[in-house]
Amino acid sequence: MAQTTLEEQLLRAEGLLVQGESEQAKDLLARLAEDAEDYVERNCPTTDEVQWFSFPTIFERLAYRRVERDPRTLEDVGEPLDRLYNDLALACVHVGDYDLAMEALRQAVRWNPMGCEYRLNLADLYRVAGDMQEYLALTYSVFERASEAIHVVRAFLNFAGWFETEGKERQAASALRMARRMDVRDSSLEAALKRAAGTPTDPDSVTDEEATELLAAEGLPDAANAEIAVCLLMCATDAAAAGDAPTATNLTVRARDLVGEAAAMALVELIRASDKEVDAHG
């Protein structure tokens, strides 16, 4: 489980996936996961405690999102186990082994409880399995942990699809409207929104105020919360750094409209403080 050895093996497995050799990738990743868990159990017993790497405050989530060094990385193991299990799940889906894929994603969530991508991927598998209770629970949990806007958008899209199946067209339109407000430029998201626009549900059939009220009545978090504003402002910061002033301005105005001028300024200071914290720790 030397660092270079595991990194090399993960790259090899990911290369097999790219080449379409999913069965071989699955076998390799399953062996790596077994070895890694055995090593961790013998040498790092405390890593099984979720509390060891939980981030309860917005500031900690923000700092975690902006620092490249993963605080859960085990130096003796080398690579975070969430990547290993996510790759294993992907290989299992390719070969049709959905039960093992689901178990692998559960382990990815265990090793990275803030990893909303893993939660959303696991939610998709529960939907395929017909377990809508777990699908909705995992999707809802994203609102409490999101540190990237794209995760919030995916969560809203999940709920839009759910409301469609329940015949709640206005609620579905509200969820789509909230997803669109996040204004994240992503090709897969663009395709998803185009597909959604082709349905009878029209996000323009409700106003922002109506959408917020309808979703609140369904138990979804108010779109005007600090978590989503943080996502918008972080994206605005990245856009500004890339020289995209119009996008940065647009996202900043959206965040201000959500939480108000004073709160938006406070969140901007929070982002700056987190950047300084990251710089201070290299």
How large is the average pLDDT for residues 143-171? 84
Q: What CA–CA distance (Å, rounded) separates 148 from 151? A: 6
Kindly calculate the radius of gyration of the chain based on its CA atoms and give it in whole angstroms. Answer: 20
> Around 93, how many Cα atoms within 13 Å sit in the side-chain half-sphere?
17
Find where tokens 């940065």 sit: 248
Instruction: Return the pLDDT at 78.
Output: 38
User: Which residue carries 């890339």 as its tokens?
Assistant: 242
**CA nearest to 122, candidates 95, 145, 94, 93:** 93
CA distance 10 to 168: 44
Q: Which pLDDT band holds residue 76 (cuts at 50, 70, 90)?
A: very low
User: Alpha-carbon distance 159 to 275, whole Å?
Assistant: 33
- H or E element, residue 181: helix 169-181
Check residues 80 and 3 and name the one with the higher pLDDT: 80
Most confident residue range from 157-161, 191-195, 262-266, 278-282: 157-161
Residue 272 has pLDDT above 50, yes or no: yes
* Distance from C-alpha of 218 to C-alpha of 174, rounded to nearest angstrom: 11
Rounded CA-CA distance 180/190 in Å is 10
Query: What is the 3-state composition of the chain as percent helix, strand, coil, each rounded to the nearest 5?
Result: 75, 0, 25
pTM of the predicted structure, to 2 decimals:
0.69
CA distance 221 to 202: 21
Which position has the higher pLDDT, 2 or 16? 16
What pLDDT does 64 receive? 46
For residues 103-111, give the mean pLDDT: 86
Mean pLDDT of the chain: 75
Spatial neighbors of 4 by CB under 8 A, at least 6 apart, are 78
The 10s digit of each residue's pLDDT in 119-151 is: 899 999 999 899 998 898 888 888 777 767 778
pLDDT digits (tens, 9 = 90+) for 200-254: 677 878 888 888 888 888 888 765 566 677 777 877 777 787 788 887 888 788 7
- Which pLDDT score is estimated for 77? 40
* CA–CA distance, 185 with 180 (Å, rounded to integer): 10
Q: What percent of the chain has pLDDT over 90?
A: 17
Cα–Cα distances in angstroms (integers) from residue 214 to residues 17, 175, 266, in the given order: 42, 9, 28
Where does the pLDDT of residue 181 fall: very low under 50, low under 70, confident under 90, or very high at 90 and above?
Answer: confident
Distance (Å, rounded) from C-alpha 12 to C-alpha 5?
A: 11
